[in-house]
Structure 1
Amino acid sequence: MSEIPDEVFDLAQRAIAAFPLVVVGSGSSVPYGMPGMPALAEHLKGEIKPDGNDELNAWTFVRTCLSNGDGLERALSKNVLPDSLTFKIIRSTWNMISGSDSAALSLLLSRPRRTGLARLLGKLSTSSNKEINIVTTNYDRIIEYISGIEGIYCDTGFLPGSIQKQNDGPHRLLIEKYEKSVLRLHKVHGSLDWFARNDGGIFSISAKFNLGEEFRPLIVTPGVEKYRQVYQDPFRRVLSNADSALDRAASYICLGYGFRDEHIEPRMRTRCRDRDAPILVLTKELTPEALSFLNECGGKNYLAFENCGENTRVRTRSQPDGIECPGTFWTMEGFVERFL
């Protein structure tokens, strides 16, 4: 086991000091009790009740894929599902995750100590940078809750209010009066509080209400259908803003992200490979896609931390296979204790 090399501290500080764009994946929500894909797959298997032969045949195929070892995203991507079945999957997914989201809020409000993400946002928001950009594939509202607890204004692309409509232009309300940065949150797969009404209206509604049949949750679930959904509002506008932020970023910090989203990686690939933008990755386990990205596009300024028992495996350009260092600084809490 090695002590943390000076190079690692240097690379971490380069990523933080360059006003990073933060990419947040599903792994970052697990510590707050949010379900992962395996748990969601089991939930859907128990909850989805197909109607008619088209739904029955499609869902039987999905269940067979899951039984044969495919993950949920792969199983849902092998066949085009009927729209009616896709709606059931979206509604059932929303029901499961919204319950966990409420429990996560209670957990955050009862914590006496600031979370690691809260401390990172606090660090970034007191710098001379006036805007923090976060791109996330998560539906949950953990980032919004943490920013609210920290007193950081969070712009999700909707106008302020209890019932919010999507903003048609860049939102700059009272920014000049904020001492901290404004958080621009780009939720490229939707959010638990986004809904479409049957008449075409799109709203963000944070309060609990009876989700009748006239409202459809605006979340993009895995599968072939997501490629059509993301090019419709509100996702089209969110993706456009996320693309601009990704293209402008001087550095990246990736938290619990598996590098499996075809809308995010191409933008980061160009910046890291052609501009040598620093990139810092914190995750429990680097996926094959993450390792491929870092090896092919990471340049000389990449730094990755992953779980290694009671310690952390550190990968850099000079140590692509990684070295084991003492401490659990692959977690957000461990990282801020050691590096901020």
Structure 2
Amino acid sequence: MEISVLKRQLQEHLGDGLVLVIGSGLSCGEGIPGMGALGHHLVTHIPASLTPGDNELWEEIHPLIEKEGLEGALLKHAPTPSLEAAIVQSTGDFIAAAEAGIISEVFNNSRTLRLTRLIPHLLKPDAGIPIVTTNYDRLAELACEEAGLGVDTMFAGHFAARLDPQDSYWSFCRSVKLVGRNVRYKFAPKANVFKPHGSLDWYHREGRPVRYAGALPLSRLIITPGLNKFRSGYESPFDKHREKANDAIDKAHRFLIIGYGFNDDHLETHLTPRIKAGTKTVILTRGLSPKAREIAAENNNVLAAEFHEEDGVSGTRFIIDGAEIFYPAIDYWDLDGFVRGVF
């Protein structure tokens, strides 16, 4: 396929009914630690103040992290609630520290997030751009606001925000007009960010979720990998975000999937069947996971791009109509290169 034809096809993909699915690959590209770095951090930073029972269990888990990865280790040995709380605390602190450095660079105007560069090229539906992300960090929300969009996270309030989807929704209404017998509402341009695994600014306070942008001496509401993930996903606020994410996926006309490996049970019950049913899909990632590669190879409605090097020349390897094509010296697999090259 000629590169000009490919560009036109990619431009046309960002049309009506687009849902963005963002995985850890996009955050890693910005500098958020990935699973490997997180696993190493947990091995060295889980506090020594664990109970004897938790300490004994942790002694079984942590040697497996280096061998099988964090999720593999936690799948073999489900942590107790108290050990899981320690893992959540350490995970949140580790990611928040990296996030703070990135946010500082954005605020100092020394960095522009990749997603911020993409947003001007997307259609802005009245209901908002649906963004589904498995990431804990707030870079997607920041990127949207830097691009001039509001962000609907289903929490209402600015300092001690409560989970209230209706209040959050109507907070973006800017005017109401009666046209004949019909009422027309005008909403501010926004993105709807759905986070089924939680967020660094979600906390558990007196039995209810609360959103606060800073650090608190409360339990963060994030779902760690492993056997407890599926159970935790049915608790508030994860259930609301999972339901809204799946609803957006079910209604999508097309997907742009960035840095996501198709390894999450909460999304896969809806996302993969929709893709296999023919929903047009573009996947951008540094390296396709085995599941992502299989989906791209077996479905002609999927166009996938990953980093590849051949004969000392780096570029992008595409899977188009099930066939692999290498384009040297272009970096469309990276969202930055995608925006520069396609638009």
The alignment's TM-score, normalised by the length of structure 1, stands at: 0.90
Structure 2 residue 14 is matched with structure 1 residue 12: no
Q: Which of the pair is proportionally richer in strand?
A: 2
Does the C-alpha gap of structure 1 residues 15 and 104 become closer, same or farther in structure 2, counting only changes over 3 Å? same
What does 1:20-59 correspond to in 2, within 5 Å?
20-49=18-47, 51-59=50-58
Question: Equivalents in 2 of 1:163, 1:338: separation in Å?
Answer: 42
Question: Equivalents in 2 of 1:107, 1:113: separation in Å?
Answer: 5
Structure 2 residue 320 is matched with structure 1 residue 316: yes
The counterpart of 2:204, out of the listed 196, 208, 228, is 196
1:306 alignment partner, SS class: strand
Q: Which runs of 5+ in 1 are unaligned?
A: none
Q: What one-letter code is carried by the residue in structure 1 that aligns with 2:195?
A: K
1:268 deviates by 2.0
Kept in 1: contact 2:156–2:165 (CA 8 A) = no
Kept in 1: contact 2:31–2:102 (CA 8 A) = yes
Residue in 2 that maps onto 1:187: 195
1:49 deviates by 3.2
1:257 deviates by 0.8
Question: Equivalents in 2 of 1:36, 1:112: separation in Å?
Answer: 23
Question: Equivalents in 1 of 2:10, 2:113: separation in Å?
Answer: 19
Kept in 1: contact 2:297–2:322 (CA 8 A) = no
Residue in 2 that maps onto 1:61: 60
Question: Equivalents in 2 of 1:326, 1:172: separation in Å?
Answer: 47
What does 1:160-239 correspond to in 2, within 5 Å?
160-169=157-166, 171-176=169-174, 181-197=189-205, 199-206=206-213, 208-209=214-215, 211-212=216-217, 215-239=218-242
Question: Equivalents in 2 of 1:17, 1:267: separation in Å?
Answer: 21
Does the C-alpha gap of structure 1 residues 318 and 39 become closer, same or farther in structure 2, counting only changes over 3 Å? closer
Question: Equivalents in 1 of 2:4, 2:60: separation in Å?
Answer: 50
What does 1:1-340 correspond to in 2, within 5 Å?
4=3, 6=5, 8-49=6-47, 51-67=50-66, 69-111=67-109, 114-125=112-123, 127=124, 130-169=127-166, 171-176=169-174, 181-197=189-205, 199-206=206-213, 208-209=214-215, 211-212=216-217, 215-274=218-277, 276-296=278-298, 298=299, 300-309=300-309, 310-319=314-323, 321-340=324-343
1:183 deviates by 0.4
1:202 alignment partner, SS class: strand
2:266 alignment partner, SS class: coil
1:61 deviates by 1.5
Does the C-alpha gap of structure 1 residues 115 and 81 become closer, same or farther in structure 2, counting only changes over 3 Å? closer
Question: Equivalents in 1 of 2:55, 2:220: separation in Å?
Answer: 23
Kept in 2: contact 1:26–1:257 (CA 8 A) = yes
1:101 deviates by 1.1
Residue-by-residue CA offset, 1:256-296 (whole Å, 9 max, x unaligned): 1111111212312222222x111011100001011122234
Larger relative CO (CA 8 A, sep 6+): 1 or 2?
1
Kept in 2: contact 1:26–1:137 (CA 8 A) = yes
The alignment's TM-score, normalised by the length of structure 2, stands at: 0.89
Q: What one-letter code is carried by the residue in structure 1 that aligns with 2:268?
A: E
Kept in 2: contact 1:3–1:326 (CA 8 A) = no
Residue in 1 that maps onto 2:178: none
Kept in 1: contact 2:172–2:188 (CA 8 A) = no
Kept in 2: contact 1:314–1:325 (CA 8 A) = no
1:129 deviates by 5.5
Q: What one-letter code is carried by the residue in structure 1 that aligns with 2:140?
A: I
Kept in 2: contact 1:155–1:185 (CA 8 A) = yes
Kept in 1: contact 2:115–2:144 (CA 8 A) = no
Residue-by-residue CA offset, 1:201-234 (whole Å, 9 max, x unaligned): 210001x34x22xx21001111111111110001
Kept in 1: contact 2:21–2:256 (CA 8 A) = yes
Q: CA RMSD in A?
A: 2.1
Kept in 1: contact 2:297–2:319 (CA 8 A) = no
Identity, % of aligned positions: 30
Residue-by-residue CA offset, 1:106-159 (whole Å, 9 max, x unaligned): 12223357443112212225x455420000000001111112222201001101
2:14 alignment partner, SS class: helix
1:18 alignment partner, SS class: coil
Question: Equivalents in 2 of 1:263, 1:80: separation in Å?
Answer: 18
Kept in 2: contact 1:136–1:188 (CA 8 A) = yes
Q: What one-letter code is carried by the residue in structure 2 that aligns with 1:192?
A: L
